[in-house]
Amino acid sequence: QLQLQESGSGLVKPSQTLSLTCAVSGDSISSGGYSWSWIRQPPGKGLEWIGYIYQSGSAYFNPSLERRVTMSVDRSKNQFSLRLTSVTAADSAVYFCARGKLYYYDSGAYYFDYWGRGTLVTVSS
């Protein structure tokens, strides 16, 4: 059974960088046909896709965040990571990592079949 577990800084000061890691267990992050996403949810609000990365290291980001987002993958540790720079209070949210399963070959379309439990990140001085 695939499991994902987020970890990282729970409190970040404004203008600083948010860093999170998602550890994957139960399968290799190098398995084909999947992407590895970050999705966030401000308290009491809806879901926002941040971006995803492939095991190759290529990544796609939400255009509204792409100037501040980087993602990386560490196949040796079976984990992937998120960095979000210049954070403000609007970046306070529960951050989920999730596996994206390909809808069909070469579609570039993914649905999220496994999720981590989420980790709350608060931006405050």
Partner 1 sequence: DIQLTQSPSFLSASVGDRVTITCRASQGISSFLAWYQQKPGKAPKLLIYAASTLQSGVPSRFSGSGSGTEFTLTISSLQPEDFATYYCQQLNRNPSITFGQGSRLDIK
Decide: is 42 part of the binding site for partner 1 (CB under 8 A).
no
Q: Rank residues 39 and 87 by Cβ distance to partner 1 and give the closer one.
A: 39
Task: Work out how close the CB of 13 gets to partner 1 at its nearest, in angstroms, rounded to a whole number.
Answer: 26
Identify the helix (H) or strand (E) that includes residue 68. none
Query: Per-residue x/- mask for partner 1, residues 45 to 74, rule CB under 8 A?
Result: -xxxx--x-------x-xxx----------
Tell me if 95 contacts partner 1 by CB under 8 A.
no
> Is 81 strand, coil or helix?
strand
Q: How many chain residues bind partner 1 (CB under 8 A)?
A: 25
Beta carbons within 8 Å of 84's beta carbon, 6+ residues apart: 17, 18, 50, 65, 68, 69, 91
Three-state SS across 30-65? CCCCEEEEEEEECCCCCCEEEEEECCCCCEEECCCC
Query: Contact residues for partner 1 (CB under 8 A)?
Result: 37, 46-49, 52, 60, 62-64, 96, 98, 101, 103, 107-113, 115-118
